[in-house]
Amino acid sequence: MLTAPQFSTDGLLSVRARIAAAAARAGRDPAEVTLLAVSKQQPEAAIRAVALAGQRQFGENYVQESTGKIAALADLPLTWHFIGQLQANKTRAVAEHFQWVHTVDRARIAERLNAQRPHYAPPLEVLLQVKLGDEATKGGVSPDDTPALAEAVAGMPRLKLRGLMCIPADSRTEHEQRQPFRRLRELLGALNAGGHRLDTLSMGMSNDLEAAVLEGATIVRVGTAVFGPRG
As a whole number of angstroms, the distance between CA 188 and CA 183 comes to 9
Query: Could you tell me if 10 and 18 are in contact, meaning their C-beta atoms sit under 8 angstroms apart?
Result: no
* H runs (alpha helix) in 122-202: 146-154, 174-193
CB 45 within 8 A of CB 7: yes
Dihedral angle sign, alpha carbons of residues 159, 164, 165, 169: positive
Q: Spell out, as residue ranges, where the chain has pLDDT lower than 70.
A: 1-6, 230-231
DSSP code of residue 71: H
Output DSSP code: residue 155.
T
User: What is the full DSSP assignment across 183-211?
Assistant: HHHHHHHHHHHTT----EEE---TTTHHH
The predicted pLDDT at position 134 comes to 78
What count of Cα atoms within 13 Å lies in the side-chain half-sphere of residue 85? 9
DSSP three-state, residue 77: coil
What pLDDT is attached to residue 6? 55
Q: Which CATH number fits domain 10-220: 3.20.20.10, 3.30.930.10, 1.20.1600.10, 3.40.50.2300?
A: 3.20.20.10
Burial of 82 (0-12, 13-18, 19+ CB in 10 A): buried
pLDDT at 54: 96
* Residue 19 exposed, middle or buried by CB count within 10 Å (0-12, 13-18, 19+): buried
Rounded to the nearest 5°, which phi and psi values hold at 86?
Answer: -105, 120
Indicate the domain borders of the chain.
Answer: 10-220
pLDDT in tens, 151-196: 999 999 999 999 999 999 998 899 999 999 999 999 999 999 999 9
What local confidence, expressed as pLDDT, does residue 9 receive?
87
pLDDT value, residue 113: 98
Per-residue burial over 47-70, b if 16 or more Cβ lie within 10 Å, else e, is: bbbbbebebebbbbbebeebbebb
Residues 6+ apart with CB under 8 A from 217: 33, 181, 201, 202, 203, 204, 209
Q: Single out the residue of 37, 41, 36, 88 nearest to residue 62, CA to CA.
A: 41
pLDDT of residue 159: 98
CB 156 within 8 A of CB 124: no
pLDDT of residue 5: 47
